[in-house]
A and B are shown apart, each in its own frame.
Chain A
Amino acid sequence: MTMISEEHKKEKLGFEETELRLGLPGGGGIINGDLVKNTNANGKRGYTQTVDLKLNLALKETEKGENLQKEKNLISCSNDSVKPSPKAQVVGWPPVRSFRKNIVAVQKSSSEEGGGGATTFVKVSMDGAPYLRKVDLNMYKSYQDLYGALGKMFSSFTMGKCDSQGVMDFMNESKLMDLLNGSDFVPTYEDKDGDWMLVGDVPWEMFVGSCKRLRIMKGTEAIGLAPRAMEKCKNRS
């Protein structure tokens, strides 16, 4: 307690008269464990009023506590008045709402991975389907997620009976996934360089950043792709 008045004498704040040990020049504080009402009739508060308040109870305990802490190191009282290291990750700082946090993160990741302003909506074509669809790749977290969504999208479209190229039945997503995983259909994508690549080689985030459009190719069409792609395809089924 006396530490404070000494500090302030040092800093010459001009509060020598106040002798503020704890308390307030006006009442309404807790003194000796009791609530003291404001005794000053006109309610005026001024720093020149000197009220020597001593919270004996708290004082004793503080002294005790300090000794305890010096002797033993077992208490996890880490929140004492130590200014936090500015470089540490601080919860809730800077005070930005969570829905504002991801704005640049998304932009950053797409530019870092070479998307550079590229959209996340990409066209999806499937060989034999009468129209294209569009998907937002940012809505998915993995290739499996994407396949599931594509399966749902194209499941409403049936090709009817089998042809010589193999069964093209889009009735349910698991069939489509089988098809995608099998050798009849090959999921491919056009990357930012304009090359047609096999889906699944690179980590998901990298794929999202570089994919410009998707094409689910018929197996036979895929022969035109690099032989390595076909190898991969066969190895997966």
Chain B
Amino acid sequence: MAYSFPEEVLEYVFAFLSSDKDRNAVSLVCKSWYEIERWCRRRVFIGNCYAVSPQIVIRRFPEVRAVKIKGKPHFADFNLVPERWGAYVYPWISAMARSYPWLEEIKLKRMVVTDESLELISKSFKNFKVLMLSSCEGFTTDGLSSIAANCRNLRELDLRESDVEDLSGHWLSHFPDNFTSLVSLNMSCLGSEVSFSALERLVSRCPNLKTLRLNRAVPVEKLASLLRRAPQLVEFGTGAYSTEIRTDIFSNLVGAFSGCKHLKSLSGFWDVVPAYLPAMYCVCSRITSLNLSYATVQSPDLVELISQCPNLKCLWVLDYIEDAGLKALSSYCKDLQELRVFPSDPYSAEPNVSLTEQGLVTVSAGCPKLQSVLYFCRQMSNAALVAIARNRPNLIRFRLCIIEPQAPDYLTLEPLDTGFGAIVEHCKELRRLSLSGLLTDRVFEYIGTHAKKLEMLSIAFAGDSDLGLHYVLSGCESLRKLEIRDCPFGDKALLANAAKLETMRSLWMSSCSVSYGACKLLGQKMPNLNVEVIDERGPPDSRPKTCPVEKLYVYRTVAGPRADKPDFVWTMDEDGALRLS
């Protein structure tokens, strides 16, 4: 049965495999295929930077050209992960600088990136092309200066949603005059004003620029000049509009936009004055993606704009759109696939806009391709959820946030178990679900029974007992990420499903009822898991074993306990002893 198939041919064939799943499968066929595959794998995705070490990755895949690494758990976005928890990228950069001189792409999410790391990147990889820092932090605009100055072949610099210490806008001026390779620039998260003339010249000399997302500091009167220099743009993010409408600026903008025949995506719109919106009408017919989530504009003006976008596939908007606006959306935008409605005033007790469950029901009825939903609202009913589920069995992502924790069905005052149950029962391809409102263990029974393709589940202020957690861990076969806060889930369900945790990327539980003793037991018995107790009250040993821990983060790993823990994190170790950093 021994084939003598030339390696080169196999390598050629493997080059057509882009998905990690396929490549992983191929590498399991036999030793020879494993060897061939590992030498030709060019892209590596590391979903948890602590699941594996840089050394292990480099040892197995010596010729990587692109890495994507994720760090902190998702709840870090909402300040639930304390500062200094970890996810430092420097060890990765340092190791890759030595072993991957031809690295071209680094994409990071929720990692701590220092200026030192950025400088090392800029000097170590001669053919460096793509830097994407998504929700990262720890660096300043000085780090960006290094990248601008040294990465001669840079194509993409995307800082989306990162928290950058903005020392000045000078970094942009560090791109050399002979630098022309830029394809994508997203600086929307930065505060400082960059030199406008430097920006203009950069845009002018980069003929392949397709994506330009400006920051707030670029005023509206400057936009036309940039658009005229880059009529080939496909994605454009404006700066702030904070100025009164002026006819000369307006007509200049209209002219500039009309020259952009390839624009598909628009974003920015901070402080937008409604009178400026018509300047974009000429590009609306081609627009597929619209991010109006910073536009504090009322529903009628939003509808005016949206009604001109029949090809809209993705809309991010504030709840100013209201039910009426969503109704209009559902009639004008039949191609809509993704809708995100953000709260304009999340902390006020009373609703400030007329946005209810009805808006979402209407969109679910009118938009047959809708598959991805993020919706903040103040009231919900089982009837509405059932309607949404029946209307849209093709939903893949459903994230609902009813702003008041444990809010019941506002019509019947019952829990929303039935509603969410309908969602998981009808939407058989559902991969991501976020729950809210009043929920008992029953909803978890429904989830465990039906949500077989569910990969990520977010739970807050829900459930009655360990049974809830047990249903999820024992029933959701595809579950990879589970994040829970403020639920009465404790030791029993966790320990009874310990093996399940090895099949998942991670589990986060905060303000629940998991005791320190149970964490210790879990850590002792599951050597392939890092069981991290995060507790800012001091060493868990100073409290009884039955005392619940503040936060628990469990993740599978082949790298063992990490060495960079801060003083408020303890890894429950195999020998039962407390291992401090």
Q: Mark B442-467, 1 if CB is under 8 A from A, else 0.
A: 10010000000000000011000111
Cβ–Cβ contact A104 & B345, under 8 A: yes
Q: Is the interface of A mostly helix, strand, loop or mixed?
A: loop
Residues of A within 8 A of B342 (CB): 96, 100
Of the candidates B75, B293, B445, B526, the one whose C-beta lies within 8 Å of that of A92 is B75
Q: How far is the CB of B544 from chain A (nearest CB, A)?
A: 6
Known contacts A61-B517, A86-B406, A99-B161; is A29 also within 8 Å of B498 by CB?
yes
Q: Mark A1-22, 1 if CB is under 8 A from B, else 0.
A: 1001001100001000000111
Known contacts A81-B490, A92-B79, A107-B296; is A58 also within 8 Å of B495 by CB?
yes
Residues of A within 8 A of B219 (CB): 121
Give Cα A13 to B243, complex, Å. Answer: 61
Of the candidates B343, B497, B544, the one whose C-beta lies within 8 Å of that of A68 is B544
Cβ–Cβ contact A92 & B80, under 8 A: yes
Q: Mark A134-170, 1 if CB is under 8 A from B, else 0.
A: 0010000000000000000000000000000000000
Give Cα A120 to B401, complex, Å. Answer: 33
Cβ–Cβ contact A30 & B466, under 8 A: no
Residues of A within 8 A of B201 (CB): none
Cβ–Cβ contact B161 & A91, under 8 A: no
Known contacts A29-B499, A62-B546, A79-B548; is A98 also within 8 Å of B405 by CB?
no
List residues 505-561 of chain B with CB under 8 A from any CB of chain A. 511-513, 515, 517-518, 521-522, 525-526, 537, 543-550
Of the candidates B189, B376, B499, B549, the one whose C-beta lies within 8 Å of that of A35 is B499
Does A101 sit within 8 A of B, measured CB to CB? Answer: yes
Residues of B within 8 A of A107 (CB): 296
Q: Mark A102-131, 1 if CB is under 8 A from B, else 0.
A: 011001100000000101110000000000
Residues of A within 8 A of B548 (CB): 77, 79-80
Cβ–Cβ contact A79 & B513, under 8 A: yes
Q: How far is the CB of A140 from chain B (nearest CB, A)?
A: 13
Q: How far is the CB of A229 from chain B (nearest CB, A)?
A: 28
Residues of A within 8 A of B (CB): 1, 4, 7-8, 13, 20-30, 33-35, 37-38, 45, 53, 55, 57-58, 61-62, 64-66, 68, 75-77, 79-81, 83-84, 86-87, 90-101, 103-104, 107-108, 117, 119-121, 136
Residues of B within 8 A of A (CB): 75, 77-80, 161, 163, 189, 219, 242-244, 273, 293-294, 296, 318, 342-346, 349, 376, 401, 403-406, 442, 445, 460-461, 465-467, 470, 474, 485-486, 488, 490-493, 495-500, 511-513, 515, 517-518, 521-522, 525-526, 537, 543-550
Instruction: Pull 24 A–B residue pairs with CB atoms less than 8 Å apart, ordered by A.
Output: A22-B492, A22-B495, A23-B492, A25-B474, A28-B498, A28-B500, A29-B499, A33-B521, A55-B491, A65-B515, A65-B544, A65-B547, A79-B511, A79-B549, A79-B550, A84-B461, A92-B75, A92-B79, A92-B485, A98-B163, A101-B346, A103-B318, A104-B296, A104-B345
